[in-house]
Structure 1
């Protein structure tokens, strides 16, 4: 992020605009929406600029600024459109004032975003100069989505913030405001108008003060394989409402960023063959926060019902008397199969599918290897990288075809996804030659859709298989 977005209080502060023409006129009208004291420097102002300055109450100087004119200004805009912009920029900076050279990103100290104005609610959209057409399209979309009445709702809410402090800070106060903005407020605005919003707020506050606090709870949520766009709508909604997020190490930061910034984030993942939080510690953290009244999201990579110790956690929550629910997610096996463009099951090929984990080596060693070695068998093997040589030996020992395709998918669905296509008798060697560092799913019996002809000969990254 090159430009940090902030909202600057311009109440009674000087904002200076230098220039003439359409760009200066557009900036004048934009800045006039604020409560700043506007000053316009224009040596030969055109009639429409003169008229706008008079209507908007901007102090007009029909000359260029000189030393001292820009002192103590909050911001300076220059839209002269020639070498005069550089002189104005130097003068502003000599006075310690930030300057924006209109339509010149490199020469500017700050940028002005596209703005959706539902004052006091405002939405700013900026692309750091990379894609102004995209910013404009987003603005147009938001203009259509955000009703004009939001301004009235937010004005009434702003004036009521002090009264709402009668509710404890945290979830109870957030529930009150959510009730107002998404239910009670819009109904009153539509039925009787803005003048009764304050009355509605007082009634709503009285009802919320009389309510008993909602008990804490835990939602065990699947984050999916890593791509935020593959999360369910319910998972996104719960994450946005969470007071506490207890997450696995495999949940990427892009997904954690979807939660409220004020939420408490606790990294308590279990890592195969590495340092881990104990299951007892994870259970204790969930229970403690829920008993304290928090809405807890136990965020798990993939699907909570697949190799995620779900039963151990729900049994602990039941024993503690904590309410809970499970939200499924896309599991890594599905994401891996999608990455190579093939299905996990297919008529006349495999009537069943095995989903295995190599993390529990004792349980892994007790598989029905003879059944898995039959022609057409398919298995998705989680955390199988370290056990690849063991897997290869057992399957070959029980009669599996040495040429059976095996595909390793690393970081399925993520930007750094990598696909390694190999065959059973070469699997351990090929995986060792290009060892993955991220989470890997081994798809036994499956080859990338567009690479069946090469999978038997070499290990190739997916980009070479297209």
Structure 2
């Protein structure tokens, strides 16, 4: 991120602009929505600028900007549409202490003006750092269509009610009230008087309610792609007070959390640094003491090799309510990436999900059954155990040419598909990311070519 988004307070402050043509008009139409004191410099101004000057909306000075003209200005726009004049304006404004934007010159600008969705006082700014203005406009158009015009009115009236809402405890109780107002009772009101009445009624209802009990949601974060999150999982993450997450949960998914939420890294790494399960259990109990809504965020699906039972037992021991929100397990994403199905008529009627190691070391399984020609298995946490698995299967008669596929970072941008056989399994496991190993499945011939095509071709 080269440009950090902020909202600058302009009430009663100076903003200057040099120029009088189309570029100047485009910027002024936005700036006139503010309560800034705007001064425009330029020998030739469009009629609209002169009309705005006559009506007192801005000050127009019919000459080029000179040193000292930008004193006390917070922002300055160089909109002369002439490289030499814009450079001169920028030099003068910077010397006077103003932040400068040169229209259509991102490299020499100190700030940019984003595309804006205006539901005053609700303002949404959309920026692409100059990379894709067409995309910014498309997003703006989409948001304009989605957001009701009444949203600004709801926000203005709600702002005046904030002191009254202090009657509710800070935190979740207050957030639940505002959520109820903005997404339920407020939008149903027809007039300003009805909106005010809805606020009063909604506040009274929430004051009368009992505080919400602590709750833990065991949420499946899926294999890493945020688009593979379920709607229910996304909602739980957004509403959480505390998120205790695994090492493999991606940053893009954690970005969905509220800024005020406490994010706790409880990562475990096989044969590496780990937080103990006892400590994780203690964190769950600790963060629910004051009624917090806790999300225990597990990669994949929490019910598959997620040590879920131990954490549920912690909830039971402390009388903490809990729920389980399933996720897409890594094997499901991985098998989709190779264009295959876990089961197939005439080939196999079952599939086994196995772990490569357990608390005692390498995990033991029914190797004789797994060595059969029709067996299909997905091995989690199998990189370190690959040679052990290979040896056990060969000892029980498995064909050395049994197809094997290793999928690293399933569903993520850096996903890799590595085809092999049982004979070469131990030679292909030198990967750094999380991996699933399929025994008895090879990538479909078309899978790799399909993965390279743009997604829109399949939309």
Q: Tell me the TM-score range normalised by the shorter chain.
A: over 0.9
The separation in 2 between residues aligned to 1:215 and 1:74, in whole angstroms, is: 48
Native 8 Å contact 2:43 2:62 kept in 1: yes
Native 8 Å contact 2:49 2:60 kept in 1: no
Decide whether aligned partners of structure 1 residues 365 and 357 sit closer, same or farther in structure 2, where only a CA change above 3 A counts: closer
Is 1:443 the counterpart of 2:444 in the alignment? no
The separation in 2 between residues aligned to 1:53 and 1:448, in whole angstroms, is: 69
Q: Which stretch shifts more, 321-330 or 342-351? A: 342-351
Native 8 Å contact 1:356 1:364 kept in 2: no
The separation in 2 between residues aligned to 1:366 and 1:295, in whole angstroms, is: 38
Residue 300 of structure 2 is aligned with which of 299, 302, 306? 302
Q: Which residue of 2 aligns with 1:287?
A: 285
Cα drift, residue 319 of structure 1: 2.4
With structure 2 as the length reference, what TM-score do the two structures score? 0.95
Q: Deviations over 1:163-207 (max 9, x none)?
A: 21222211011011001101111122x3xx013423332332222
SS of alignment partner, residue 153 of structure 1: helix
Alignment of 1:312-331 (within 5 A): 312-331=310-329
Cα drift, residue 338 of structure 1: 1.2
Q: Deviations over 1:290-333 (max 9, x none)?
A: 23200000000000110001112112212221111100000011
Q: Which residue of 2 aligns with 1:140?
A: 141
SS of alignment partner, residue 63 of structure 1: coil
The separation in 2 between residues aligned to 1:92 and 1:232, in whole angstroms, is: 50
Unaligned runs of 5+ in 1: 455-461
Cα drift, residue 62 of structure 1: 0.4
Q: Which residue of 1 aligns with 2:35?
A: 35
Unaligned runs of 5+ in 2: 453-459
With structure 1 as the length reference, what TM-score do the two structures score? 0.93
SS of alignment partner, residue 375 of structure 1: coil
Is 1:157 the counterpart of 2:158 in the alignment? yes
The separation in 2 between residues aligned to 1:275 and 1:171, in whole angstroms, is: 34
Native 8 Å contact 1:40 1:59 kept in 2: yes
The separation in 2 between residues aligned to 1:405 and 1:441, in whole angstroms, is: 14
Alignment of 1:376-391 (within 5 A): 376-391=374-389
Count, aligned residues: 449
The separation in 2 between residues aligned to 1:4 and 1:181, in whole angstroms, is: 28
Native 8 Å contact 2:362 2:388 kept in 1: no
Q: Which residue of 2 aligns with 1:53?
A: 53
SS of alignment partner, residue 180 of structure 2: helix
Decide whether aligned partners of structure 1 residues 365 and 314 sit closer, same or farther in structure 2, where only a CA change above 3 A counts: closer
The separation in 2 between residues aligned to 1:196 and 1:361, in whole angstroms, is: 61
Decide whether aligned partners of structure 1 residues 446 and 361 sit closer, same or farther in structure 2, where only a CA change above 3 A counts: farther
The separation in 2 between residues aligned to 1:365 and 1:112, in whole angstroms, is: 58
Cα drift, residue 363 of structure 1: 8.2
Q: Which residue of 1 aligns with 2:230?
A: 232
Native 8 Å contact 2:71 2:98 kept in 1: yes
SS of alignment partner, residue 263 of structure 2: strand
Q: Which residue of 2 aligns with 1:131?
A: 132
Native 8 Å contact 2:240 2:293 kept in 1: yes
Q: Which stretch shifts more, 410-419 or 358-367? A: 358-367
- Considering only aligned residues, what root-mean-square deviation do their CA atoms show, in Å? 1.7
Q: Which residue of 2 aligns with 1:246?
A: 244
Native 8 Å contact 1:223 1:235 kept in 2: yes
The separation in 2 between residues aligned to 1:224 and 1:290, in whole angstroms, is: 24
The separation in 2 between residues aligned to 1:369 and 1:361, in whole angstroms, is: 19
Q: Deviations over 1:103-149 (max 9, x none)?
A: 11112110000000000001000000000000000000000000110
The separation in 1 between residues aligned to 2:362 and 2:113, in whole angstroms, is: 59
Cα drift, residue 451 of structure 1: 7.8
Cα drift, residue 364 of structure 1: 5.6
The separation in 2 between residues aligned to 1:34 and 1:399, in whole angstroms, is: 78
The separation in 2 between residues aligned to 1:375 and 1:54, in whole angstroms, is: 88
Alignment of 1:30-429 (within 5 A): 30-55=30-55, 57-82=57-82, 83-188=84-189, 190=190, 193-360=191-358, 365-429=363-427
Decide whether aligned partners of structure 1 residues 398 and 361 sit closer, same or farther in structure 2, where only a CA change above 3 A counts: farther
Native 8 Å contact 1:21 1:49 kept in 2: no
Decide whether aligned partners of structure 1 residues 172 and 81 sit closer, same or farther in structure 2, where only a CA change above 3 A counts: same
Decide whether aligned partners of structure 1 residues 56 and 128 sit closer, same or farther in structure 2, where only a CA change above 3 A counts: farther
